[in-house]
Amino acid sequence: MQGPVAILLAAGHGKRMKSSRAKVLHEVCGRPMIHYVVDAARGAGAKTIIVVVGFGADQVREALRDEPDVLFATQERQLGTGDAVRACRELLGDYEGPAFVLVGDEPLLRPGPLADLLARQQDDGAACLMGTAVVPDPTGFGRILRDTAGHFLRIIEQRDCRPEEARINEVNPSCYVFELPGLWEALERLDTGNAQGEYYLTDAPTLLQDMGRKVVALAVLEPDDILGVNTRQHLSQAHAIMQSRIHDRLMTDGVSIVDPRSTYIDGRVTIGEDTVIYPFSVLNGNIVIGRNCRVGPFAHLRDGTVLSDGVTVGAFVETVRSSLETGTSVRHLAYLGDAQVGAGVNVGAGAVTANFNGTDKNPTVIGDRAQIGAGAVLVAPSKVGPGAVIGAGAVVTKGEVAAESTVVGVPARTIKRT
């Protein structure tokens, strides 16, 4: 087993989400939460990632099946976070070294602070190093109890807190680095003497300390990084923070977003310099946008959209699984699905590719410099040659329009160019 390892807890149901889906599969900016945590662990240096699955195990495995460094451990019954970590013991065999333990419902964790925690744990030779955070509102989190000298004493779950403990605003975000095999010894000593009758991972640091091992709690995490998603309200808060990080990254890279508040951009979207995104646009899915493009207002770009440099996609235009080459312009009210559009093409207002015949999706290919008239319908599969002109309102049903020709009418027929 190659270390450092990361154990991600994701077996719980997330009852408060009121969902048939496993909690960690709920999406933040277009991606299931667990993906962000996997990325953060990997970015912090984890070489092997073990995801503990239980409720909705098959769904979670499926969502992560393309991640080569991710393994799965099954927790048969959800007996608590400590029990969940124990479920990894067999898989980890006699691995010795550091292991992150993180929870799958904190999608805003970033790799940088996690890497710092690992470095500190190694420097300190700590059996357990915990990142903690001081937050304005500690509701829902375990609280960090320290002695008067500031040394870590224990974590108290909210439900087990006395009123004065509940006022502590240093909290446990479940970001630990444990040294193995020491952690296994501590986990063997867990009991269920708490308000929930569960095996709490949060008891492990104190047990290690009682065994004479070094335990350190460092308040180095930011409140935004540790937002835990337990409800749909939390999900929307996580979404808002993630969305502003995405906007920020794109703007730093030279993209203008005129009104970030009304612009939805999925985390998988890449955009080139000097492109301007106008208000009320939705960019959802794997999308690549070149330089100097204009998108929106009110554009809906969906999965598989690729815009080369200098493309305009304007108001009430929807695109999906479509590529548009350099300088092409689709200004208003158009739908392009499964379309491959050349360079310098103009698609008029209201033109659509009719890509779905009720059973199958079919492709449309439009050559360079073609002009698609207002309100034209291209019934797919269809191929419009370079330089062809499709008259306003024409319905192309014949599949192929010759290069440099002009077609008009319903169904479209070729006429002589004047």
Q: Which of ligand UD1, Ca ion, none binds 9 (CB below 5-8 Å, type-dependent)?
A: ligand UD1
88 vs 334 by CB, closer to ligand UD1: 88
Inter-residue contact 366 to 350 (CB < 8 Å): no
The residue type at 80: G
Closest C-alpha among 44, 154, 26, 60 to residue 102 = 44
Report which residue's Cβ sits closest to ligand UD1.
142
Tell me the number of residues near ligand UD1 by CB under 6 A: 29
Enumerate residues 6+ apart whose C-beta is below 8 A from 195. 157, 159, 160
Residue 202 interacts with ligand UD1 (CB under 6 A): yes or no: yes
Tokens matching residue 189: 């000593």
92 vs 320 by CB, closer to ligand UD1: 92
Task: Find the binding residues for Ca ion in span 297-336 (CB under 5 A).
Answer: none
Cα 402 to chain centroid, rounded: 44
Out of 131, 173, 344, 348, the residue judged to bind ligand UD1 by CB under 6 A: 173
Enumerate residues 6+ apart whose C-beta is below 8 A from 199. 79, 80, 81, 82, 83, 86, 187, 190, 191, 192
Other CB atoms within 10 A of residue 415 CB: 13
- Angle (CA) 210-216-217 rounded to 5° is 115
Binding mask 139-178 for Ca ion (x = CB under 5 A): ----------------------------------------
Tokens matching residue 37: 């945590």
Q: Which of Ca ion, ligand UD1, none binds 83 (CB below 5-8 Å, type-dependent)?
A: ligand UD1
Q: How many CA atoms lie within 13 A of 382 on its CB side?
A: 28
Q: Which of ligand UD1, Ca ion, none binds 157 (CB below 5-8 Å, type-dependent)?
A: ligand UD1
Sign of the alpha-carbon torsion through 148, 151, 154, 159: positive
| DSSP of 231-283 | SHHHHHHHHHHHHHHHHHHHHHTT-EES-GGG-EE-TT-EE-TT-EE-SS-EE
Residue 11 interacts with ligand UD1 (CB under 6 A): yes or no: yes
Residue 157 interacts with ligand UD1 (CB under 6 A): yes or no: yes
Binding part of the chain for ligand UD1, among 10-18, 127-135, 241-249, 298-306 by CB under 6 A, reads 10-18
Catalytic residue among 13, 234, 247, 332: 332
Active site residue 332: yes
Residue 12 interacts with ligand UD1 (CB under 6 A): yes or no: yes
The residue type at 23: K
Out of 3, 111, 181, 228, the residue judged to bind Ca ion by CB under 5 A: 228
Tokens matching residue 387: 């330089």
226 vs 271 by CB, closer to Ca ion: 226
Residue 179 interacts with ligand UD1 (CB under 6 A): yes or no: no
Tell me the number of residues near Ca ion by CB under 5 A: 3
Residue 217 Cβ vs ligand UD1, minimum distance, rounded to whole Å: 12
Which amino acids are annotated catalytic? Answer: 332
Contact positions toward ligand UD1, by CB under 6 A?
9-12, 52, 54, 75, 78-81, 83-84, 103-105, 141-142, 155, 157, 171-174, 200-202, 228, 230
